[in-house]
C-alpha cells in the first residue's frame, strides 16, 4: 500500500488538517493510521493548543480569559477546560499561570442560599456586576448592608438618617444612568400605625423591625412603595442594568402576603427580567407569645431577587 503524502500539522484538528492539505477527513485519518499517529494523542495536543490559542486571543483583545469564556470560546466542557488549564500550569507555561489560578473554578461555588447578606451580595456582584460595585442604593438607611463591600456612590432613602444620603424623591431628578441599583424596602404591614417624620412608629411597643425600618399601614401602601421603587430603578438603569431587590414575605391580619411574588411579577410588567433568586437564611428570629398559636410557618428567610432591565 502506497503511503499518502500530505502536509500534516500536529497542532491542528483532523478537519483543520484536511482543509489545510486540501484532502478529505478520511484521507487525514488514513495518513495518521499509516504513521501510527494516535488520535488520542492528537486530541490531547489539539485541545491544549486550542485552549492556548483561545487564551492568547482573549489576552490580545484585553479580555480576561475566565473559565466560562474559555468554555464558550473552545466549545469544551467545563471539566475539559479545567483539566487542560491545569496541564498548562503544571508544565510551567508561565504566561497562563495567573489565568489558571484566577479561574472562577478556584473560587467557592456560588450557592443560591447563604447565612449572610454579605455572601449573597458578593456572589451577585461576582455573577452579574462586571464593575464589581453597586452604583445606587434607593433604601440606604445607615448603609449597614455595605459593611465590607464597596459603598454605592448614589445613596437615597425615604427618611435619610445620615449625611450624604438624599431624600428618595430626589431620585426623580436624576438624569444620568447607572449600571446597578439596590432596593431593600420595609416589608412589615401594621395597620393602625402612625409614622413620624423619621419613619418611626409612634405606637408604643410596636414591632421592632417596623420601628427600626418603618412599616406600611396596608398591603396597598406596600405595593405602591414597591411599584415606585421598581419604576425609578427602571428609569435610572441603563439597558441590561441590574436591580437587586431584597424582600421578605409577611403576615397581615393572619393572612400570608407573598410580597416577593408580587415584586417579581410587577417588575416583569415594568420591563425587568428576573434572572436569579438568592435566599438569605436567618438562624434566629424573635418569637412572640403569639407564636404559641401558630397558623403559618415562621419565615426564616429573605429574598434577593436579581432583575435585568430588558
Ligand X SMILES: C[S@@+](CC[C@H](N)C(=O)[O-])C[C@H]1O[C@@H](n2cnc3c(N)ncnc32)[C@H](O)[C@@H]1O
Given the rule CB under 6 A, which residues bind ligand X? 139, 141-145, 157-159, 168, 184-186, 199, 213-214, 225, 229
Q: Which residue is nearest to ligand X (CB)?
A: 145
- Closest to 176 (Cα-Cα) out of 119, 132, 236, 230: 236
Q: For the CA atoms of the chain, what is the radius of gyration?
A: 28
Q: How far is the CB of 127 from ligand X (least distance, A)?
A: 20
Residue holding cell 500550569?
89
Q: How far is the CB of 146 from ligand X (least distance, A)?
A: 7
Closer to ligand X by CB, 54 or 134: give it.
134
Closer to ligand X by CB, 42 or 259: give it.
259
Contact 288, 243 (CB under 8 A): no
Closer to ligand X by CB, 50 or 201: give it.
201
Q: How far is the CB of 246 from ligand X (least distance, A)?
A: 7
Q: How far is the CB of 273 from ligand X (least distance, A)?
A: 23
DSSP secondary structure letter of residue 218: S
Burial of 61 per CB tally in 10 Å (0-12, 13-18, 19+)? exposed
Closer to ligand X by CB, 186 or 241: give it.
186
Q: Which cell goes with 274?
A: 428576573
Closer to ligand X by CB, 71 or 227: give it.
227
- Closest to 168 (Cα-Cα) out of 225, 234, 245: 225
Phi/psi at 190 (nearest 5 deg)? -140, 95
Q: How far is the CB of 158 from ligand X (least distance, A)?
A: 4
Phi-psi region of 226 (alpha: psi -120 to 50; beta: other; left: phi over 0): alpha
Closer to ligand X by CB, 46 or 232: give it.
232
Residues ≥6 apart with Cβ < 8 Å to 71? 77, 78, 81
Q: How far is the CB of 117 from ligand X (least distance, A)?
A: 8
Amino acid at each position: 500500500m502506497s503511503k499518502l503524502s500530505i502536509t500534516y500539522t500536529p497542532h491542528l484538528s483532523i478537519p483543520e488538517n484536511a482543509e489545510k492539505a486540501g484532502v478529505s477527513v478520511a484521507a487525514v485519518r488514513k495518513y495518521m493510521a499509516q504513521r501510527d499517529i494516535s488520535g488520542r494523542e492528537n486530541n490531547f495536543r489539539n485541545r491544549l493548543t486550542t485552549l492556548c490559542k483561545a487564551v492568547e486571543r482573549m489576552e490580545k483583545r484585553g479580555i480576561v480569559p475566565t473559565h466560562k469564556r474559555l468554555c464558550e470560546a473552545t466549545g469544551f466542557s467545563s471539566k475539559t477546560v479545567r483539566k487542560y488549564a491545569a496541564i498548562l500550569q503544571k508544565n510551567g507555561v508561565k504566561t497562563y499561570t495567573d489565568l489558571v489560578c484566577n479561574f472562577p473554578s478556584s473560587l467557592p461555588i456560588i450557592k443560591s442560599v447563604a447565612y449572610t447578606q454579605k455572601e449573597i451580595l458578593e456572589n451577585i456582584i461576582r455573577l452579574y456586576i462586571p464593575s464589581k460595585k453597586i452604583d445606587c442604593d434607593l433604601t440606604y438607611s445607615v448603609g449597614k448592608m455595605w459593611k465590607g463591600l464597596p459603598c454605592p456612590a448614589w445613596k437615597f432613602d425615604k427618611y435619610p438618617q445620615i449625611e450624604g444620603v438624599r431624600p428618595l424623591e430626589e431620585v426623580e431628578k436624576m438624569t444620568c444612568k447607572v449600571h446597578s441599583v439596590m432596593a431593600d424596602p420595609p416589608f412589615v404591614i401594621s395597620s393602625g400605625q402612625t409614622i413620624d417624620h423619621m419613619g418611626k412608629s409612634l405606637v408604643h411597643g410596636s414591632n421592632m423591625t417596623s420601628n427600626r425600618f418603618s412599616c406600611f399601614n396596608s398591603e396597598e401602601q406596600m405595593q405602591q412603595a414597591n411599584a415606585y421603587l421598581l419604576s425609578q430603578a427602571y428609569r435610572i438603569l441603563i439597558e441590561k442594568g441590574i436591580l437587586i431587590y431584597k424582600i421578605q414575605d409577611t403576615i397581615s391580619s393572619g393572612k400570608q402576603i407573598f410580597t416577593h411574588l408580587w415584586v417579581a411579577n410587577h417588575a416583569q410588567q415594568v420591563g425587568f427580567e428576573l434572572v436569579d433568586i438568592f435566599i438569605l437564611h436567618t438562624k434566629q428570629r424573635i418569637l412572640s407569645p403569639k407564636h404559641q398559636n401558630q397558623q403559618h410557618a415562621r419565615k426564616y428567610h429573605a429574598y434577593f431577587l436579581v432583575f435585568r432591565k430588558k
